[in-house]
Amino acid sequence: MPGIRILPRTTNFPEINIFSGRRLLRWYAAHKRDLPWRRTKDPYRVWVSEIMLQQTTVGAVVPYYKAWLRAYPDIRALARAPLRAVLKSWEGLGYYQRARNMRRAARIILNAHGGRFPEDPAILAGLPGFGPYTTAAVASLSFGKPVPVIDANVRRVMTRLLGLHGPSGTIHDAEIGRILRESISRRSPGNFNQAMMEWGALVCRTKNPLCLRCPGQGECRAFARGEQEVIPVPKSFRAKKITTVVAVIRKGNRVLIQQRPDEGLLAGLWEFPGGKVERGESLPAALKRELREELGVEIETARLLITVRHSYTRYRVTLHAFDVTTTVRPGESPCSLRSLPCLWVSLKSLDKYPFPSGSLKIVRKLQERG
Ligand code: SF4
């Protein structure tokens, strides 16, 4: 594989030697982690791992990946699985739209492509949830197509290697993509892409990059200038804080849960009735208002059961769950005034329903207490 030439308008690096010959591939062969999805080129398995790895660490993904393949060993099994079961399997991974899209894509592959993954990147890119990253990963790792992946790891390696200033994010992606398209190994594009990602994950880390063990140190501009910790400039990020209250309403050993709408945040997941505390509102007042608005019931007693904290997307949520008795009498069934599905479910059967991670902590608390 030839070394690459970088056009003068971009940078005056004459060549990136690490991409010449098999240097990068040899480094990868010697240093790669042994991960379950690296033992296969099967596009279904590659796809599952790549989707799970978005926004989630390798260590967290391994048990999910194994459990998923036991539940849905192939595209047909996923396509035919009920949505609720699929969301339940995804529980804890967050960004549930990924699981919905996987099931939608599996149904299209089954119905329109006879259950076989299309090899053409242009067709892959048309499937639900197949952005440029996923398309490139499946096309290169499973089908040997020379399409480079650009994820956060690759982006970090390349901006440092080339000494490109500016905030983290996608501003240099066009340039990085052009260079990688010229550089990617034609014989082993999948390994080339995995090597780039592994380089960023293991060596060119966000904090404390291991420059002295880096295969590209000799030609790294950021290292030469001592700028490896300031390229790229971290994005300032301020999480939005939210406080919510929910009610655990019981009937015998069953509790009331309701399903979120089909669209929007945490779509289709189940939760306990309640909602956001407004500015200046006390927790009891918010609980009272929410139950009146959502279920049309009044609170008789409310006792704090548990407070949990969790984060999702850009929100940091503090969730207060109350054991509540209401004006609802046995035999009556309060239900959502917003026409959302709601059910009385035994503590044991709560395991059949997918919950967001904050609500799941309440479920576990209830089950512990019995
Ligand atoms: S020398 Fe340091 S900053 Fe440069 S690519 Fe290697 S690990 Fe990253």
Residue 185, pLDDT score: 94
Tokens 């308008």 correspond to what residue?
9
> Encoding tokens for residue 21?
């010959």
Name which of 131-145, 211-225, 234-248 the model is least confident about.
234-248
DSSP 3-state assignment of 102?
A: helix
Crossing angle between the packed helical segments 152-162 and 189-198, to the nearest 10 degrees: 80
CA dist list (Å): 156 to 71, 134, 162, 233: 35, 18, 10, 10
73 Cβ contact list (under 8 Å, min separation 6): none
Q: Is the CB of 286 under 6 A from ligand 1?
A: no
- Within a domain: 223: no
Q: For atom 8 of ligand 1, which residue has the closest CA? A: 204
CA 135 to ligand 1 centroid distance, Å? 27
Residue 11, pLDDT score: 46
The closest alpha carbon to 305, from 261, 369, 213, belongs to 369
* Residue 302, beta-bridge partner list: 324
Query: Residue 140 and residue 134: Cα distance in Å, rounded?
Result: 10
Atom of ligand 1 nearest to the CA of 216: 6
Higher per-residue confidence, 60 vs 311: 60
> Encoding tokens for residue 239?
């999480």
- Within a domain: 302: yes
Higher per-residue confidence, 353 vs 167: 353
Query: Residue 300 and residue 298: Cα distance in Å, rounded?
Result: 7
Top mutation candidate among 176, 202, 203 for ligand 1, by most atoms within 8 Å of CB: 203
- Within a domain: 126: no
DSSP 3-state assignment of 300?
A: strand
Residue 1, pLDDT score: 35
Whichever domain contains 304, its CATH number is 3.90.79.10
Total count of residues recorded for the chain? 370
Q: Assign 221 a pLDDT band (cuts: 50, 70, 90).
A: very high
* Residue 322, beta-bridge partner list: 247, 304
Q: Indicate if the pLDDT at residue 229 is higher than 90.
A: no
* Residue 343, beta-bridge partner list: 257
Give the range of the structural domain holding residue 292, as residue numbers without chain letter. 240-369
Q: Assign 314 a pLDDT band (cuts: 50, 70, 90).
A: confident
Q: Is the CB of 153 under 6 A from ligand 1?
A: no
Average pLDDT of 319-336? 78
Higher per-residue confidence, 171 vs 105: 105
Whole-prediction pTM value? Answer: 0.80
Query: Residue 366 and residue 345: Cα distance in Å, rounded?
Result: 12
Atom of ligand 1 nearest to the CA of 215: 6
Q: Is the CB of 158 under 6 A from ligand 1?
A: no
Q: Is the CB of 211 under 6 A from ligand 1?
A: yes
Residue 336, pLDDT score: 62
- Within a domain: 49: no
Atom of ligand 1 nearest to the CA of 157: 5
Cis geometry, peptide bond prior to residue 14 (ω within 30 degrees of 0) = no
CA 157 to ligand 1 centroid distance, Å? 7
pLDDT digits (tens, 9 = 90+) for 180-195: 999 999 999 999 999 9
Arithmetic mean of pLDDT over the chain: 90
- Percent with pLDDT over 70 in the chain: 92
Residue 15, pLDDT score: 64
Q: Is the CB of 324 under 6 A from ligand 1?
A: no
Contact call for residues 177 and 148 (beta carbons, < 8 A): yes
Higher per-residue confidence, 13 vs 175: 175
Contact call for residues 345 and 353 (beta carbons, < 8 A): yes
Instruction: Give the number of domains in the chain.
Output: 1
CA angle 78, 80, 84 (to 5 degrees): 80
Q: Indicate if the pLDDT at residue 4 is higher than 60.
A: no
- Within a domain: 307: yes
Q: Is the CB of 157 under 6 A from ligand 1?
A: yes
Alpha helices in the chain (DSSP H): 23-31, 43-53, 58-71, 75-80, 83-90, 97-112, 121-124, 132-143, 152-162, 173-183, 189-198, 221-225, 283-295, 357-369
Active site residues: 50
Residue 277, pLDDT score: 95
- Within a domain: 140: no
- Within a domain: 176: no
pLDDT digits (tens, 9 = 90+) for 282-294: 999 999 999 998 8
CA 39 to ligand 1 centroid distance, Å? 28
- Within a domain: 21: no
